[in-house]
Amino acid sequence: QLQLQESGPGLVEPSETLSLACTVSGDSISSYSYYWGWIRQPPGKGLEWIGSIYYSGSTYYNPSLKSRVTISVDTSKNQFSLKLSSVTAADTAVYYCARAITGTTYYFDYWGQGTLVTVSS
Amino acid sequence: QAGLTQPPSVSKGLRQTATLTCTGNSSNVGNQGASWLQQHQGHPPKLLSYRNNNRPSGISERFSASRSGNTASLTITGLQPEDEADYYCSAWDSSLTGWVFGGGTKLTVL
C-alpha cells in the first residue's frame, strides 16, 4: 500500500523559506507515469495546486507561485521536497503531498495526511 | 490561476440523490475530464472518481461521475450521513500546464 508522509517545521517566520519533505513508501518514486505533487489548503478554504515533479526532475509549477517555489526529488531517499520562499501569513495552510497519475488521464490518487504550516513571528 | 467553478453548498435529505457540478473550459474539463475528491473535516482528500466515471477500489457504486462538454458532474445516490463532506473536482489544464481545482462544494445531508 502506497503511503506518503509530509515532514518539516510547523512554524515559519515571515520572509523566510518554508521547507517540507514528502517520504514515499510502498512504491518507488521512480515509477513511470507518476508525477509527485504538492497541494495546499489554507484554513477553511479550498485546495490549491503548488507544483509537481517527475523522478527525472522535470517540474510543473502553479504560475501564481512559480517565482517562489522549488520542488526537487531525491530518488535515493524515495523522497521529494518543497521550498517556498519569502513566505507571508497568506502561505499559512495545510500542505499535502500526493501522487499524480499522468498520461492519458490526470488525477491525484494517493495523498499524505498533510502538515499544518503556520507563518508567524 | 483560473480554477474550476463549483457551487459552494448543496443540501439534500437522507436517502435522496445529490448532483454536484464542476464547470471549466475546453482546456481542462472539456479536454481531459475531471476527477472528484471527498474530504471530511480534518482529513486529507480521498479520490472518488477519475477520468469522468472510473472509481478506485473500495469506492461505493453510489458515487458516479459524468461529463457534458465543459461541465463535470458527481451524482451521489441514497445519501447517507457519512456522505456529508466537502467535494472537490480537479482537472489538468493544458493551457496552464498544471492542475486546477474547484473551490469545493459542502454537501449537507439533512
Which residue in A6, A27, A1, A4 sits closest to A93, CA to CA?
Answer: A6
| Chain mean position to CA A40 | 8
Rg of the Cα trace of chain B?
A: 13
Compute the C-alpha angle A104/B89/A6, nearest 5°. 85
Question: Could you give the CA distance from residue A59 to residue A37 in angstroms, rounded to a whole number?
Answer: 9
Which residue in B109, B110, B99 sits closest to B45, CA to CA?
Answer: B99
Residues near A53 by beta carbon (within 8 Å), at least 6 away in sequence: A35, A36, A37, A59, A60, A71, A72, A73, A80
Judge: B44–A52 Cβ closer than 8 Å, yes or no: no
Residues near B31 by beta carbon (within 8 Å), at least 6 away in sequence: B92, B94
Does residue B102 belong to the interface with chain A, where contact is any CB pair within 8 Å?
yes
Question: Could you give the CA distance from residue A100 to residue A110 in angstroms, rounded to a whole number?
Answer: 8
Does residue B47 belong to the interface with chain A, where contact is any CB pair within 8 Å?
yes
Does residue A63 belong to the interface with chain B, where contact is any CB pair within 8 Å?
yes
Summary mean pLDDT of chain A: 95
Does residue B30 belong to the interface with chain A, where contact is any CB pair within 8 Å?
no
CA distance to partner chain A, nearest, from residue B110 (Å): 22
User: What grid cell was written down for B47?
Assistant: 479520490
Question: Could you give the CA distance from residue A119 to residue B17 in angstroms, rounded to a whole number?
Answer: 41
CA distance to partner chain B, nearest, from residue A85 (Å): 19
Reported as a single tens digit per residue, the pLDDT across A54-72 is 989 999 999 999 999 999 9
Chain B residues in contact with A100 by the CB 8 A cut-off are 99
For chain B, residues with pLDDT lower than 70 are 1-2, 52
| Chain mean position to CA A57 | 14
User: What grid cell was written down for A15?
Assistant: 520572509
pLDDT at A53 over 80: yes
Judge: A63–B100 Cβ closer than 8 Å, yes or no: no
Does residue A64 belong to the interface with chain B, where contact is any CB pair within 8 Å?
yes
Give the whole-number percent of chain A exceeding pLDDT 90.
88
Question: Could you give the CA distance from residue A52 to residue A74 in angstroms, rounded to a whole number?
Answer: 14
Sign of CA dihedral A61, A59, A103, A50: negative
- For the residues A72-78, what does the mean pLDDT come to? 94
pLDDT of B2 reads 53
User: What grid cell was written down for B52?
Assistant: 469522468
Amino acid identity, position B3:
G
